Amino acid sequence: MALNFLKYKWQKVTLVSVTIFIVLLLGLAFFVNRYWSPILSGKVKSAVLTSTDSLYNVDFSSAELHVLEGRIIIYNIDFKVDSAVYNHRKQLHLAPNNLTTFHVKRLVLSHIHPFKLYFQHILDIDRITLTEPEVHISYQLNHTKDTTVKDLRTPWQKISKSLKYVHVGDIFLNDVKFKYDDYSGNKLEVSELKEMNLQANELLIDSATQTDRSRLLYCKDIVADLNNYKGKTLNGLYIYTIKKLKLSTRISQLNIKGVVIDPVNTHTFFNNTMLDKYSLKLDSVQLNNFDFLTYHKYRSINASSLIISHGIFDLFNNPNKPQSKLNKVASFPNVAIHTIGIDLKIDTIITRRIDVNYSEYNKKSHKTGTISFNRTYGRFLNITNNKEALQKNNISTVYVSSYFMDHGKFEATFTFDLTAKDAAYSYKGSLGPMDLQAVNPATMPLAMIKITSGKLKKLEFNFKANSKTSKGKTTVLYNDLKVNILRADTTNAILKQKLIVSLFANIFILKHNNPDKEGLIPRSFNVVYKRPINSPFFKTIWQSLLLGLKSAVGYDEKTQKATTARMSEHELNKQNRKIKKAIRKQKRAERKLKRELKKQQKEEEKKSAGEKIN
């Protein structure tokens, strides 16, 4: 076959020509491969210095150019900060807030045309792959807004003398090791991430994209994936995990799956802090229209909505916590939002099907009681501490819908003045029909009261309040309310009924129905509650409502005093009856003793008389 193929002269000429071309091409490739590396090194270093105003420099150990494959491989890349340039800019208040350094073992640029780069000054690459990059970012708040610098040119304007444009189809960073140092607080916070992958698409730097705000870092989309992230809080009291995190800059969306925050074991926790203990589990968190670039530069969170779906929040009151005398006004939402330390602006926060449980240990009953709000839906509007946003709208509205103790439908609307010096707010709402015995898991351990019967028809409330006073009105409609007053039996670790006290409460104190009779106007009660300075926000809400509830069932402050007096009188009468009974018993014993003495005397007299006769 080969001989037949080379039978004609033109076949031989063709074979020789192709062979010579291949040899020349391979020789050229070898030549370019050998001498291109220093040319490429110079180009890259020059581009980095120019585009970063000499703040960063880059170096690598070696580079390979495979002309036939259109591929460049660069080894051991180090991208570092010039500390002298940074310190000089810092003195001039021109230093950036974020500094980035990284090391890459191997960088592969696929389908690149070196002649196009060298002769036409166009850098066009299909794909860049970075293997095991180690990225280190440090954050220090040097300024809160973009500073004015002498050189206002865009990156494209800075490189336009050496390159016409830069285009990269895809950039992959696989198995990234990420370290983040935050110097903005009182203490250095260090975060380290593993199992993270980054992908950027359609990077383009040219005259058109230099002002394209739809791109982040000149890329159409940057996607970050983080899996199985674990960490511990600075105080060492909580461990948190994230199953999966994904950020897409094209749709400006951050998605988090499987968020878990758990405290360390109870013994260790309460021995190391006086804070309340909490745990949080969330199926998903979604932040929409998230301005990642602003957050990256200034730690400012700006988003259209935050959606939190399906989860459990448990709060346990610290039993070792001493009674504080400090003003807890910082627990009020419209005060707390100004103390979080970041600039925040979220138009809407939505929570879906969140179970909220509050537990407390009662030292008198030696039991733990829990109040729960199940399947909670919330809608929070205008959550912000941004000064410019507050000038336009300083009112935040919160709507909450839930099931109290997993039974009664609870609905409430809160309105907060975000700029009021007295932390002014208002709230109104209702609780729907439910069997009042469902509240016993809370009332028995916490109040030592067992509701034996009762049907709630409806509870309505409407309050206007601030950090000092709450004023409002409550109306509660119910039927057939009866209770047992309990006491702790420490020997058997149970709660027992106080029979006499329970009868007294049901007969003389409680109003068993509201309205008292069908057709009558229901009783409503005006409430004025003066907040103690050490009362936090939710306790203030509860105490205000409790005043109205006590009045509704007939146990207001006036009745409490009268009841205490009557109970004291009852106890006194009881003691008097015991004393009288003891006196009567003693008298009966004395009379019995006298009778026995008389009988004994008569017997002795008879015996003495018989002896005389004999």
Its domain, for residue 100, covers 39-226
Per-residue pLDDT tens for 162-209? 788 888 899 898 888 888 888 777 777 777 777 788 898 998 888 888
Question: Can you give the pLDDT at residue 11?
Answer: 46
CA 260 to CA 312: how far, in whole Å?
A: 10
- The last residue of one of the domains, among 166, 191, 226, is 226
Flag whether pLDDT at 120 surpasses 80. yes
Residue 30, in any domain of the structure: no
Mean residue pLDDT of the chain comes to 80
Mean pLDDT confidence for 355-373 = 86
CB atoms within 10 A of CB 1: 5
Which one has a higher pLDDT value, 346 or 72? 346
Mean pLDDT confidence for 300-327 = 87
300 in the same domain as 193:
no
Per-residue pLDDT tens for 131-173? 888 888 888 877 666 554 556 777 778 778 878 888 889 989 8
197 in the same domain as 76:
yes
Mean pLDDT confidence for 353-366 = 87
SS (H, E, C) 5-49: HCCCHHHHHHHHHHHHHHHHHHHHHHHHHHHHHHHHHHHHHHHHH
417 in the same domain as 295:
yes
Q: Return the residue matching tokens 């601030």.
A: 466
Percent of the chain's residues with pLDDT above 90 = 28
250 closest CA partner among 200, 284, 208, 286: 200
Flag whether pLDDT at 24 surpasses 50. no
537 in the same domain as 578:
no
Question: Can you give the pLDDT at residue 574?
Answer: 65
Flag whether pLDDT at 35 surpasses 60. no
Residue 569, in any domain of the structure: yes
142 in the same domain as 71:
yes
Residue 447, in any domain of the structure: yes
Residue 50 pairs in a beta bridge with none
Q: Which 3 state secondary structure label does DSSP give 297?
A: helix
Residue 608, in any domain of the structure: no
CB atoms within 10 A of CB 77: 19
CA 487 to CA 489: how far, in whole Å?
A: 7
Question: Can you give the pLDDT at residue 556?
Answer: 60
This model's pTM is above 0.75: no
524 in the same domain as 403:
yes
Segment of 22-31, 121-130, 133-142, 345-354 carrying the highest mean pLDDT: 345-354
552 closest CA partner among 517, 504, 510, 503: 510
Question: Can you give the pLDDT at residue 26?
Answer: 46
Per-residue pLDDT tens for 518-570? 878 888 889 999 999 888 888 888 888 888 887 777 766 665 555 555 555 55
- The last residue of one of the domains, among 226, 251, 282, is 226
387 in the same domain as 331:
yes
CA 505 to CA 501: how far, in whole Å?
A: 6
Question: Can you give the pLDDT at residue 613?
Answer: 59
Asked which of 109-118, 429-438, 516-525 is least confident by mean pLDDT, the reply is 109-118
69 in the same domain as 80:
yes
359 in the same domain as 410:
yes
Question: Can you give the pLDDT at residue 298?
Answer: 77
Flag whether pLDDT at 18 surpasses 60. no
> Would you place residue 581 in the very low, low, confident or very high pLDDT band (cuts 50, 70, 90)?
confident
209 in the same domain as 221:
yes
Contact 548, 473 (CB under 8 A): yes
Asked which of 41-50, 96-105, 394-403, 571-580 is least confident by mean pLDDT, the reply is 571-580
Contact 467, 495 (CB under 8 A): no
Residue 403, C-beta contacts closer than 8 angstroms, at least 6 positions apart: 373, 374, 375, 409, 410
Q: Return the residue matching tokens 């705000």.
A: 213
**Which strand (E) or helix (H) includes residue 390?**
helix 387-392
CA 56 to CA 97: how far, in whole Å?
A: 14
258 in the same domain as 189:
no
Flag whether pLDDT at 29 surpasses 60. no
Question: Can you give the pLDDT at residue 12?
Answer: 45
Flag whether pLDDT at 250 surpasses 50. yes
The dihedral through the CA atoms of 584, 585, 591, 595 has a sign that is: positive
Question: Can you give the pLDDT at residue 151?
Answer: 62
253 in the same domain as 140:
no
How many folded domains does the chain comprise? 3
Residue 598, in any domain of the structure: no
Residue 510, in any domain of the structure: yes
CA 482 to CA 506: how far, in whole Å?
A: 6
Residue 593, in any domain of the structure: no
Residue 2, in any domain of the structure: no
Per-residue pLDDT tens for 473-522? 999 999 988 888 777 666 556 666 655 555 555 544 577 888 888 878 88
- The last residue of one of the domains, among 226, 261, 288, is 226
Flag whether pLDDT at 614 surpasses 60. no
Flag whether pLDDT at 579 surpasses 60. no
Per-residue pLDDT tens for 88-103? 888 887 788 888 888 8
